Structure 1
Amino acid sequence: MTEAPALWAVLPAAGVGRRMGSAVPKQYLDLAGRAVIEHTLDLFVADPRIRGVAVALGREDAYWGDTGYADHPKVMRAPGGAERCHSVLNALGVLEGRAGDDDWVLVHDAARPCLRVADLDRLIEALMDDPVGGLLGIQVRDTMKRAGEGERIETTVDRSSLWHAYTPQMFRLGLLRHALHDALEAGDLVTDDASAMERLGRAPRLIEGHADNIKITRAEDLPLARFYLQQQGRI
């Protein structure tokens, strides 16, 4: 009997968070008494389906050692890269030898601490037998404008087929590694994993999640994240 593919997680966490205007990288900012990245890791470490988590950290990261997951047996450290795509690829390299090419990898932003357990479950259940993989997202609700010169509206964009791309993004390890290598060799610094798959002609599946799966990029996002975690009963 063939063993079912395993699940692994990857967290690119080498960013410095310039838009936060803080000396501390956004993944280490205080959120209800703990670092943002600790809240993010909680779901993946606690999930028995996920065998391990590779966290890609900057070479001069001075904060990781103070987190509660620095010495956790389920968490592996990978070298961060110049861009997100480099960090993800490095983390996949750390998984090699432990994971197989057909295993699934869940790539999740370190600065998205409010992922719901129900959304993670929905994503995994929907994609375990999918030929490509996919990602969490939500359909665009606002009217969308394309700007032209001088920040003036050039046109209104039809929003009926537009989605906000969130994470986790779930793909087979071997295919994702190939997709990222292919993008980087072409000089394309893809900003998410689905984009790398799209370059290969694959069509990742969109799984609807919730809008509270926010990515912390600005100072005003922290109190909002705290509110969402309180609503979820996680703090």
Structure 2
Amino acid sequence: MSQYHVLIPSAGRGTRMQSALPKQYLSLLGEPLLRHVIQQFESCEDIASITIVIATDDQDWQPSLLDGCQKTQVIPYGGKTRAESVLNGLNALRDMVQPADWILVHDAARPGIDHVMLQRLINTVGASDTGGILALPLADTLKRADEQGHITETIPREHLWQAQTPQMFRYTDLHNALNTYLACHPTDEAQAMEWMGKRPKLVLGSLKNMKVTYPDDLQVVAALMQSTR
């Protein structure tokens, strides 16, 4: 029976946060962002293991982030890009997982993930080999701009979704996709899978699962998380 393993690339510095501390270590509701993420996966019975990929020169990692954790390990194999960090993590897991096991890649800066979303993803993707990702249908009108910031086109939002994480794929499929297309710089795992000819399933996520990117995002995600407690 296939198992579920979480891989969290956490080697970036999040320069748009305008903080000397990498955003995954910033405080949110009294805990570092990354700690919120770890706790959600640690408490999910379906998850067999959690691997966090940090930068080789990470001076901000604190062992206390894993206090009380039973499933989580940290490996200092972070790459220059997200895709490289994920591939390095997959290589490190080679002897720990089965080829058909599921890998759930999740952003370290998405602390709003919860068991409802995780179960929806796992149940919807099911036994298929296409994999799937959490995502939200776009609600706003989209505009394309020129270099001067003037509108050049209105883009219909029908059938457009905003990708979230986790992104869930079979170990061997994901490893092959990233290994094949690493030099093409995929922006997420789903894009590499698309280039391999797969059609990943879109599974409804939540606004609460937003990625912390800018300073104001901390307050927004904190409010969303508190509203659902």
TM-score by length of structure 1 reads: 0.93
Report the equivalent of 1:208. 204
Q: 1:40 maps to which residue?
A: 37
Match of 1:221 in 2: 217
Q: Within 5 A, what are the aligned runs for 1:142-181?
A: 142-181=140-179
**Which one of 136, 139, 143 corresponds to residue 137 of structure 2?**
139
Superimposed CA distance per residue, residues 175-215 of structure 1 (whole angstroms, 9 cap, x where no aligned partner): 1000001112xx21111000000011111110111112110
2:60 is aligned to 63
Secondary structure at the aligned position of 2:99 is classed as coil
* Gapped regions of structure 2 (runs ≥ 5): none
Query: Alpha-carbon deviation of 1:117?
Result: 1.6
1:100 is matched with which residue?
98
Give the Å deviation of 1:72: 3.4
* Aligned-CA RMSD value: 1.3
Give me the whole-angstrom Cα distance separating, in 2, the residues matched to 1:68 and 1:16. 17
SS for the counterpart of 2:6 is strand
Task: Write out per-residue CA displacement over residues 49-86 of structure 1, whole angstroms, 9 at most, x where no aligned residue.
Answer: 11101101011212222433168341122211100001
Aligned partners of 1:137 and 1:166 also within 8 Å: yes
SS of structure 2 residue aligned to 1:146: strand
Structure 2 CA distance for partners of 1:70 and 1:192, relative to 1, 3 Å:
farther
Of 93-102 and 193-202, more deviation after overlay is shown by 93-102
Confirm whether residue 196 of structure 1 aligns to residue 192 of structure 2.
Answer: yes
Contact 1:19 1:218 in 2 (8 A): yes
Q: Tell me which of 4, 7, 10 is aligned to 2:4.
A: 7
Identity %: 37
CA distance in 2, matches of 1:148, 1:161: 24
Aligned partners of 1:54 and 1:94 also within 8 Å: no
Contact 1:38 1:67 in 2 (8 A): no
Preserved CA contact (<8 Å) 2:37 2:111: yes
| Distance (Å, rounded) in 1 between the aligned partners of 2:168 and 2:214 | 26
Amino acid at match of 1:194: A
Q: Distance in 2 between matches of 1:118 and 1:71?
A: 23
**Deviation of the 1:135 alpha carbon:** 0.2
Distance in 2 between the 1:105 and 1:215 partners? 20
Cα-to-partner distance string for 1:21-53 (whole Å, 9 max, x where unaligned): 100000000111111000011111111211101
State the partner residue of 1:125: 123
1:35–1:67 contact (8 Å) kept in structure 2? no
SS in 2 for 1:68: helix
How far apart in 2 are the matches of 1:70 and 1:60?
Answer: 22
Structure 1: gaps of 5 or more residues: none
Per-residue CA distance 1:85-112 (angstroms, 9 max, x = gap): 0111111122211101100010000000
Secondary structure of 1:149's aligned partner: coil
- Partner in structure 2 of residue 74 of structure 1: 71
AA aligned opposite 1:225: V
**TM-score, normalised by the number of residues in structure 2:** 0.96
Give the number of aligned pairs: 228
